[in-house]
Amino acid sequence: MALALLFALATPAFAANLDVNAKAVVLMEKTTGEVLYEENAHQQLEPASVTKVMTMLLIMEALDSGVITKDTMIPVSATAAGMGGSQVYLKEGEEFPVNDMLKAIAVASGNDASVAMAEYLAGSESSFVEKMNAKAAELGMKNSSFANPSGLNDDNHYSTAYDMALLAQACLKNETVAEICATRSVTIGSRTFVNHNKLLWRCEGCVGMKTGFTEKAGRTLVSAATRDGQTLICVTLNDGDDWNDHCKLMDYGFQTYPRQGLCKKGETLGAVAVRGSLIPSVAAVAADEVGYPLKEGEALTMEVKLDSSVQAPFAPGTPVGEAVWKKDGEIVARTDLAAQNGAQLDVREPLD
C-alpha cells in the first residue's frame, strides 16, 4: 500500500541571505542526516580544534565500555604538559579525573588535556590516532585523516565540513558529551575557564559543540542547536565570521525546514491477518516516532509494506512489516511495524 503525503506549510519560506564567509559549510538535520545547506561540503581542509569532537567521542566510548570511569585519575606526562596552542596549563606529574579532563577539552579546548587522555587510553598519542582514524572510517568520514588528538596543523591532518557533521551527529547521540559541550564554564583545579563557544549566548537553542583556530586553518566551528524538538548541526571551516554565519544558518534551517511529524510511536498503519488463532487480524503499529525536515511545497510518499499474515502464537511487538517515506524516489525515513497485541494458538478440539 502506498499513500502520498503532501505537507503544505503554513509559514512562508524564510528568505535569508545565505552569503556565508566560510570556505566550506554544511547544515545538517541531526536525526535524519539530511543536508539542508552546503558549500564545498567535501573539500579537504584543516579542522583545527574541532578535531577534539573525535577525541571526546572516543573518551565517551571508553567510559561507556567501562575501560575508565569519570573518577579515573589521568596523569599528565611531560609531553602533554609541553603542548603548545590552546591549553589549560596542566603540569607534569599532576593528575585529574576523567570528568575534569573532558571539560578541559570541550570547554577550554585544552591540547594538553587531549594528549594526556590519548596517552592514557591508548598507551601513546600515535596509537590513539589509529583509533581516531578507525572511528572515522566506521562513521563514513571518507575524506578525513587525523594525525593528532588536538587539531594542531599537520599535512596528514584534514577533514571536510560534511565529515565533521557526521562526527557531530554521532557525538550528540551521547547525552554526556552533549551536556559537557553545552557547559558555559568549568573549574579545573584552581583554574576557571569560560567556554570559547559564543553561540551558547548568541544563538537561540545552542547546545554546543566546539570551536577551533590555527593560522593555517583559520576559524573553524561545529555547532548544534535545538528548537521545537528539532536539532540542527552546522559546520564551517575557515570562516572569519563564523558566529554570525552560524546564527544565520540556524535561523534559515529551522524556519525553512521545520520537522514534520510523519507518524507517532504506536500509531496504527495497517493490519495483518493472523493464522491459527481466534483473532482474525492484528493491528500493525509504528515502532518509532518518525519525523522529517520539509521545505514548503515538498512532498513525501509513504509506502506500507506488510507481511501477508502472521502465525500464532506470537507476542506483542512481533515484527510484521515496515513503513518507508520517499522523497524523489529515495527512502528518507522508515520505521518497523510491529503487532500491537499478541495472539494465542487456537487449541480447541476439532469438530467430528
Kindly list the catalytic residues.
49, 52, 109
Core vs surface per residue 241-265: b (16+ CB within 10 A) or e? ebbebbbbbbbbbbbbbbbbebbee
CA-closest candidate to residue 224, choices 186, 262, 167 = 167
Q: Which three-class secondary structure string do you get for the chain?
A: CEEEEECCCCCCCCCCCCCCCCCEEEEEECCCCCEEEEECCCCCECCHHHHHHHHHHHHHHHHHCCCCCCCCEEECCHHHHCCCCCCCCCCCCCEEEHHHHHHHHHCCCCHHHHHHHHHHHHCCHHHHHHHHHHHHHHCCCCCCECCCCCCCCCCCCEECHHHHHHHHHHHHCCHHHHHHHCCCEEEECCEEEECCCCHHHHCCCEEEEEEEEECCCEEEEEEEEEECCEEEEEEEECCCCHHHHHHHHHHHHHHHCCEEEEECCCCEEEEEEEECCCCCEEEEEECCCEEEECCCCCEEEEEEEECCEEECCECCCCEEEEEEEEECCEEEEEEEEEECCCECCCCCCCCC
Cα 148 from chain centre = 22
